[in-house]
């Protein structure tokens, strides 16, 4: 026996009694748990097409199991993974980046595109082949829990992430647990688990705060609605309290995220500007806030207030507003609930009132029914505004969506249009506005992948690479441009 264990355990009979309920009795009243027969562990070298049997545990002792986590998709998914990591670490599990050393993999999925779901499916298969337990989370299993490749797997629903520790424990014991219910408090739907839960952040300096879940749209190509459902907002006070908490923990940058931040508060008698002004009051000097994606219809009525907020010195002058197409005909087929003129009104107003603002947008190339004239309208729109951030996506038919049943544009045409739009994007230089003598304030939040530069963002959320100097992480610095390279002038 390991030294000291006898003081802790005393006798094994102290832990297991003949009067204890049997495993069958224990789980008979738990509808979310499926008991499976245990199999002996098989230890052998195996080719790729052979699955290694998973070791099954009679009990799970904290700090003895290692968990690997992987995330696909948006900032909301990233936040969910960070919350799950916080729960697992608090429970006593060891988090590891080494998937081979892990006992169990938690895979948090995205259902927006076919490729992301394909890589998610491949990762599940890799886990099976490696003999690893798997818990799946995110929008894929929430939207399509009966998918063949998810059979027998434990699932943490998008609103049940605060229960991930119990799901992991039961999965390690060989049980299949599925928690897909909507989160309710006193019979009413809530946006999700409490925001005050512990986190293990991907970047200790950046906090991603979900402000609402779901949306008000019914876009014909989108499957995320199947997973996140209709709009449910967190209370203003809970979001503000979370911001205060994380700034005290050393965070210097807060991102607000949801499926559509512009819709915030419509279900609780509030609004996005009301929330933002409350948050601005608690952002410390030297820290910044970044707003998440908003669809055009839900910002039109708040343009004046949004321009004021985005001009605030502690708020990035940056907004992601996906247009998806420059053709009103295609927007109608997508059920986007706005026209191109609405989008242009938003961009024109914000560019006038917030000089230098970065407007990012998305385009879907080859949506069903898109003619050459429709695509030319999209090209014209992108040429007019020269968006510095342009996310170009080929149309992917997501199973179960109305668009999946529409007649598709031939794949070769879709690829050609994607290439043409990409070439247009690369043809303009949005950063020529900076002169060699210009100076900017930059918040440094990370180190580049090559470990040779600090990475920061200026007021317009444009990425700036800085030479490696000591103690810059988490600090705002004033930089000057010299021969197109930034040099630090002084640290605030």
**Cα(346)–Cα(365) distance, rounded to whole angstroms?**
22
Query: Computed over its alpha carbons, how large is the radius of gyration of the chain?
Result: 25
Q: Where are the alpha helices (DSSP H) in 370-427?
A: 372-385, 411-427
Tokens representing residue 223 in the block: 């499957």
Whether the Cβ atoms of residue 263 and residue 296 lie closer than 8 Å to each other: no
Query: Which phi and psi (to 5°) does residue 488 adopt?
Result: -70, 125
Distance from C-alpha of 242 to C-alpha of 199, rounded to nearest angstrom: 12
Q: Which residues contact 373 (CB under 8 A, 6 or more apart)?
A: 327
Query: Is residue 363 within 8 Å of residue 393, measured between CB atoms?
Result: yes
Q: How far apart are CA 88 and CA 77, in angstroms?
A: 16
Structure tokens at 333: 């087929």
Using CA atoms, how far apart are residues 289 and 405, in angstroms rounded to an integer?
A: 41
395: its two tokens:
């149309």
Superfamily (CATH H level) for 186-427? tm_1862 like domain (3.80.30.20)
Q: What is the pLDDT of residue 51?
A: 61
Tell the burial category of 3 from Cβ atoms under 10 Å away from its Cβ (0-12, 13-18, 19+): exposed
> Residue 467: beta bridge partners?
453
User: Within a 13 Å sphere around the CA of 418, how many CA atoms are in the beta-carbon half?
Assistant: 17
Facing residues of 232 across strands? 213
The predicted structure's pLDDT at residue 6: 34
Q: pTM here?
A: 0.86
Q: What pLDDT sits at residue 238?
A: 98
Sign of CA pseudo-dihedral 396, 399, 402, 407:
positive
**Residue 210 and residue 195: Cα distance in Å, rounded?**
8
What is the residue-level pLDDT of the chain in tens, covering all 492 positions? Answer: 333 433 333 332 233 333 444 444 444 444 454 444 344 343 333 344 556 677 777 667 767 899 999 999 999 999 999 999 999 999 999 999 999 999 999 999 999 999 999 999 999 999 999 999 999 999 999 999 999 999 999 999 999 999 999 999 999 999 999 999 998 888 889 999 999 999 999 999 999 999 999 999 999 999 999 999 999 999 999 999 999 999 999 999 999 999 999 999 999 999 999 999 999 999 999 999 999 999 999 999 999 999 999 999 999 999 999 999 999 999 999 999 999 999 999 999 999 999 999 999 999 999 999 999 999 999 999 999 999 999 999 999 999 999 999 999 999 999 999 999 999 999 988 777 777 778 889 999 999 999 999 999 999 999 999 988 778 999 999 988 654 445 554 444
Strands (E) across 17-61 are located at 33-34
| 64's tokens | 């003895």
C-alpha 145/C-alpha 413 separation (Å) is: 34
Within 214-371, residue ranges assigned H as helices are 224-228, 236-248, 272-280, 303-310, 328-334, 340-353
E-strand spans in 28-153? 33-34, 66-71, 94-96, 104-109, 133-138
Maximum Cα–Cα distance across the chain: 81
Query: For 66-184, which CATH superfamily applies?
Result: Methylthiotransferase, N-terminal domain (3.40.50.12160)
């Amino acid at each position: 026996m390991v030294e000291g264990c006898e003081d802790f355990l005393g006798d094994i009979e102290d832990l297991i009694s003949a009067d204890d309920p049997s495993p069958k009795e224990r789980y008979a009243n738990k509808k979310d748990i499926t008991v499976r027969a245990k199999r002996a562990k098989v230890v052998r070298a195996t080719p790729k097409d052979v699955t290694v049997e998973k070791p099954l545990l009679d009990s799970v002792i904290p700090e003895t199991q290692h968990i690997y986590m992987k995330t696909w998709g948006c900032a909301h998914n990233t936040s969910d993974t960070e919350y799950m990591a916080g729960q697992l670490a608090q429970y006593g599990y060891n988090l590891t980046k080494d998937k081979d050393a892990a006992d169990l993999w938690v895979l948090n999925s995205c259902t927006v595109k076919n490729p992301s779901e394909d890589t998610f499916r491949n990762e599940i298969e890799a886990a099976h082949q490696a003999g690893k337990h798997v818990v799946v989370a995110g929008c894929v299993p929430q939207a399509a829990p009966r998918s063949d490749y998810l059979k027998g797997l434990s699932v943490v629903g998008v609103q049940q992430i605060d229960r991930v520790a119990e799901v992991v424990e039961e999965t390690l014991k060989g049980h299949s647990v599925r928690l897909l219910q909507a989160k309710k408090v006193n019979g009413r739907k809530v946006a999700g688990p409490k925001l005050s839960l512990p986190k293990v952040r991907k970047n200790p300096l950046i906090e991603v705060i979900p402000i609402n879940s779901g949306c008000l749209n019914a876009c014909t190509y989108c499957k995320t609605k199947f997973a996140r459902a209709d709009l449910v907002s967190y209370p203003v006070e809970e979001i503000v309290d979370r911001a205060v908490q994380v700034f005290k923990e050393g965070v210097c940058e807060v991102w607000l995220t949801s499926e559509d931040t512009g819709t915030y508060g419509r279900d609780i008698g509030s609004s996005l500007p009301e929330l933002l002004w409350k948050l601005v009051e608690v952002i410390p000097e030297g820290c910044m806030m970044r707003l998440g994606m908003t669809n055009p219809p839900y910002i039109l009525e708040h343009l004046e207030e949004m321009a004021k907020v985005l001009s605030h010195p502690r708020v990035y002058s940056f907004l992601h507003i996906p247009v998806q197409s420059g053709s009103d005909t295609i927007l109608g087929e997508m059920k986007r609930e706005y026209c191109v003129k609405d989008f242009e009104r938003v961009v024109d107003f914000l560019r006038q009132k917030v000089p230098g603002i970065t407007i990012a947008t998305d385009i879907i190339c080859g949506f069903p029914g898109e003619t050459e004239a429709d695509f030319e309208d999209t090209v014209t729109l992108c040429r007019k505004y020269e968006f510095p951030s342009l996310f170009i996506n080929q149309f992917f038919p997501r199973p179960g969506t109305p668009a999946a049943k529409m007649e598709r544009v031939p794949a070769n045409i879709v690829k050609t249009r994607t290439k043409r739009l990409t070439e247009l994007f690369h043809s303009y230089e949005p950063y020529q506005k900076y002169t060699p003598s210009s100076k900017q304030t930059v918040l440094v939040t990370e180190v580049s992948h090559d470990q040779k530069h600090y990475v920061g963002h200026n007021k317009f959320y444009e990425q700036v690479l800085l030479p490696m100097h000591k103690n810059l992480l988490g600090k705002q610095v004033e930089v000057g441009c010299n021969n197109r390279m930034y040099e630090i002038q002084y640290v605030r």
